[in-house]
Structure 1
Amino acid sequence: MKRLTWCAAIAIWYFISIPMGRAASPAKTSATIESNGGAGQAKRLSSSAKNPASNRKAGSAAKKMLLAPVMVRAKRMVPSRLMSDREALERLERTPGGVAQVTEAHIRRRRAANLSEVLDFVPGVTAGSRHGPAQDDQISIRGSGLESRYETWGISLLQDGFALNQADGLAVTQPLDMDFVKRIEIYKGASAMRFGGDMMGGAINLVTKTGYDAPALEVGSEVGSYGFVKNYLGSGHVAGRWDSYLGLSDAELGGFRDHSIQVQRRMFGTVGYTGDDGATARLDTSYMSDSEDLPGELTRSQLLDNPSAADPTYVGKKSAREFDFLRTGLTVTKPLGEGQMLEAYAQFFWHDYENPLPFAIVEGSTYNWNGELRYLNDIPLFNCGNHLTAGLQYGGTMWKDLNYVNDEGETGAALRNQWDRALALGAYAEDDFDLTRELSLVFGGRVDYARRSVSGFASAKDYAPTGVADFVSGLSPKAGFVYRLKPTIQFFGNVSRAYQPPILKEEEAPNQNPSTASVDTLRAERGWQFETGARGSWKERAKWDLAVYDYEIHNEILNFNRLPFPHAKFVIPSYINVPRTRHSGVEFGTSLTILRNASRLVGFRGQHDQLVARVAYTWSRFRFVDNRTYGNNQIPGLAPENRINAEITYSNAYGYWVQPYVYTVPGGWAVNSVNTVYAPPYTLVGVRAGYDYKPWHCRLFFEAANLTDASWAAAIAPDAANQRFFDPGDGRSFYGGISWHL
Structure 2
Amino acid sequence: MTDIFPSVRRALGAAAGAAVLACGQAAMAQIAATPPSPRPVPRPERITVTGVARAPATATPAGQTTYGAGRSSFAGQAAQTVADMLVTVPGVSFVAGNGPRDVVVSIRGSGDRQSYGLKNIQVLEDGFPMTQPDGTARSDLIDPHAYDRVDVFQGPASTLYGNYAINGAIDFRTRDGADIHGLELGSDFGSFGMINTYVTLGAGNRAYDLMVFGSDVRSNGFIANSGYATATENARLRVSLTPSDRLVLKFVNNVTDAFLPLRLSLDQYRRNPYQAGCADAAQAAAGCATVNLLVNGRYGATRALSPQQAGLGRFDRRSIVGLRWEHDIDSRTTWRTQFTYDQRHVDQPTSVTSFVGPYNSYAVSSDITNRGRVGATNLTSFAGVNFDYLDFGYQVYNLTPEGGATRGALNSTAYGHQWNLGARFQEDWQFAPRWHAVIGLGGTYSDLGAVETLYSYSARGQARTWVTADRFFFNLAPEAALVYAPASDWTVHTRVGTAYATPATSNLFVTPQGTYGNNTQLKSTTSVGIDLGADWHPSRALRLQATGFYEFYHDELVSQSAGVNSVGSYAFNAPATQHRGVELGAEWAPLHRTLPGARVRLSYTYDNQIYTRYTEILSNSALSRAFDRSGRNIPGVIPNFLNARVLYDQPDGLLEGLGGSVEVTWRSAYWLDNANRLRAPGYGLVNLELHYDPPRRMGWAHRLHGYVEVRNLADATYVAGAANITDVLQANGRQAGAAVLATRTGSIYAGSPRAVFGGVRMRF
- Shifted more, 212-221 versus 360-369: the winner is 212-221
Of 105, 111, 119, the match for 1:139: 105
**Aligned residue in 2 for 1:63:** none
Q: Post-superposition shift, 1:72?
A: 4.6
Q: Give distance in 2, aligned partners of 1:70 and 1:88.
A: 21
Matching of residue 226 in structure 1 with residue 192 in structure 2: yes
Contact kept? 2:689, 2:709, Cα under 8 Å: yes
**Aligned residue in 2 for 1:158:** 124
Of 692, 700, 703, the match for 1:697: 703
Mapping of residues 237-256 of structure 1, within 5 Å: 237-238=203-204, 241-256=207-222
Change in 2 beyond 3 A, CA 1:257/1:620: same
Instruction: Show CA shifts across 1:63-110 (max 9, x none).
Output: xxxxxx9735338x99xxx78768999994434232112111112022
- Shifted more, 385-394 versus 491-500: the winner is 385-394
Instruction: Show CA shifts across 1:130-152 (max 9, x none).
Output: 357x2211111112134422222
Structure 2 letter corresponding to 1:541: A
Structure 2 letter corresponding to 1:441: A
Contact kept? 1:131, 1:727, Cα under 8 Å: no
Contact kept? 1:215, 1:741, Cα under 8 Å: no
**Aligned residue in 1 for 2:611:** 624
Matching of residue 410 in structure 1 with residue 406 in structure 2: yes
Contact kept? 2:8, 2:49, Cα under 8 Å: no
**Aligned residue in 2 for 1:312:** 290
Secondary structure at the aligned position of 1:633 is classed as: coil
Instruction: Show CA shifts across 1:419-456 (max 9, x none).
Output: 13110111111222111111111111101111111125
Of 86, 103, 106, the match for 2:73: 106
Q: Give distance in 2, aligned partners of 1:88 and 1:617.
A: 15
Q: Post-superposition shift, 1:192?
A: 7.1
Contact kept? 2:515, 2:568, Cα under 8 Å: no
Q: Give distance in 1, aligned partners of 2:34 and 2:40.
A: 13
Mapping of residues 672-691 of structure 1, within 5 Å: 672-691=673-692
Structure 2 letter corresponding to 1:207: R
Of 379, 382, 386, the match for 2:372: 379
**Aligned residue in 2 for 1:454:** 450
Matching of residue 282 in structure 1 with residue 245 in structure 2: no
Contact kept? 1:432, 1:442, Cα under 8 Å: yes
Structure 2 letter corresponding to 1:213: D
Change in 2 beyond 3 A, CA 1:577/1:234: same
Structure 2 letter corresponding to 1:71: A
Structure 2 letter corresponding to 1:610: G
Contact kept? 1:292, 1:322, Cα under 8 Å: yes
Contact kept? 1:40, 1:90, Cα under 8 Å: no
The number of aligned residues is 661
**Consecutive unaligned residues in structure 2, runs of 5 or more:** 11-15, 17-29, 53-61, 276-287, 292-306, 458-463, 616-626, 697-701, 728-743
Change in 2 beyond 3 A, CA 1:430/1:463: farther
Secondary structure at the aligned position of 2:506 is classed as: helix
Change in 2 beyond 3 A, CA 1:456/1:668: closer
Q: Post-superposition shift, 1:338?
A: 1.2
Mapping of residues 23-102 of structure 1, within 5 Å: 40-42=5-7, 71-74=32-35, 92-94=50-52, 95-102=62-69
Q: Post-superposition shift, 1:244?
A: 2.2
Mapping of residues 181-330 of structure 1, within 5 Å: 181-190=147-156, 193-194=159-160, 198-238=164-204, 241-309=207-275, 311-313=289-291, 314-330=307-323
Change in 2 beyond 3 A, CA 1:193/1:598: farther
- Shifted more, 184-193 versus 480-489: the winner is 184-193
Contact kept? 2:112, 2:638, Cα under 8 Å: no
Q: Give distance in 2, aligned partners of 1:93 and 1:302.
A: 48
Contact kept? 2:48, 2:66, Cα under 8 Å: no
Secondary structure at the aligned position of 1:303 is classed as: helix
Q: Post-superposition shift, 1:515?
A: 11
**Aligned residue in 1 for 2:438:** 442
Structure 1 letter corresponding to 2:589: T
Q: Give distance in 1, aligned partners of 2:529 and 2:312.
A: 40
**Aligned residue in 2 for 1:486:** 487
Q: Give distance in 2, aligned partners of 1:623 and 1:168.
A: 26
Matching of residue 710 in structure 1 with residue 716 in structure 2: yes
**Aligned residue in 2 for 1:423:** 419
Secondary structure at the aligned position of 1:350 is classed as: strand
Secondary structure at the aligned position of 2:225 is classed as: coil
Aligned-CA RMSD value: 2.8
**Aligned residue in 1 for 2:93:** 126
Structure 2 letter corresponding to 1:661: E
Secondary structure at the aligned position of 1:430 is classed as: strand
- Shifted more, 395-404 versus 621-630: the winner is 621-630
Structure 2 letter corresponding to 1:543: R
TM-score of the two chains, using structure 1 as the length reference = 0.84
Instruction: Show CA shifts across 1:359-382 (max 9, x none).
Output: 211111111110111212222223
Contact kept? 1:597, 1:610, Cα under 8 Å: no
Q: Give distance in 2, aligned partners of 1:264 and 1:739.
A: 20
Matching of residue 368 in structure 1 with residue 366 in structure 2: no
Q: Give distance in 1, aligned partners of 2:449 and 2:572.
A: 18
Q: Give distance in 1, aligned partners of 2:745 and 2:516.
A: 25
Secondary structure at the aligned position of 1:522 is classed as: coil
Secondary structure at the aligned position of 2:268 is classed as: helix
Contact kept? 1:181, 1:209, Cα under 8 Å: yes
Q: Post-superposition shift, 1:663?
A: 0.9
Q: Post-superposition shift, 1:232?
A: 0.8
Q: Post-superposition shift, 1:488?
A: 2.3
Q: Post-superposition shift, 1:492?
A: 0.7
Q: Post-superposition shift, 1:217?
A: 0.4
Q: Post-superposition shift, 1:577?
A: 0.8
Secondary structure at the aligned position of 2:591 is classed as: strand
**Aligned residue in 2 for 1:605:** none
Structure 1 letter corresponding to 2:571: Y
**Aligned residue in 2 for 1:535:** 535
**Aligned residue in 1 for 2:469:** 467
Secondary structure at the aligned position of 2:344 is classed as: strand
Change in 2 beyond 3 A, CA 1:71/1:311: farther
Secondary structure at the aligned position of 1:370 is classed as: strand
Q: Give distance in 1, aligned partners of 2:427 and 2:593.
A: 45
Change in 2 beyond 3 A, CA 1:238/1:496: closer
TM-score of the two chains, using structure 2 as the length reference = 0.82
Contact kept? 1:196, 1:391, Cα under 8 Å: no
Matching of residue 500 in structure 1 with residue 501 in structure 2: yes
Q: Give distance in 2, aligned partners of 1:238 and 1:560.
A: 48
Instruction: Show CA shifts across 1:370-418 (max 9, x none).
Output: 0111212222223212222221111111111110011122100011222
Q: Give distance in 1, aligned partners of 2:425 and 2:347.
A: 40
Q: Post-superposition shift, 1:329?
A: 0.5
Q: Give distance in 1, aligned partners of 2:368 and 2:8.
A: 31
Q: Give distance in 1, aligned partners of 2:440 and 2:141.
A: 32
- Shifted more, 293-302 versus 194-203: the winner is 194-203
Secondary structure at the aligned position of 2:180 is classed as: coil
**Aligned residue in 2 for 1:610:** 597
Secondary structure at the aligned position of 2:443 is classed as: strand
Contact kept? 1:281, 1:330, Cα under 8 Å: yes
Q: Give distance in 2, aligned partners of 1:470 and 1:277.
A: 44
Structure 1 letter corresponding to 2:77: R
Q: Give distance in 2, aligned partners of 1:114 and 1:513.
A: 29
Contact kept? 2:454, 2:517, Cα under 8 Å: no
Contact kept? 1:41, 1:540, Cα under 8 Å: no
Secondary structure at the aligned position of 2:507 is classed as: helix
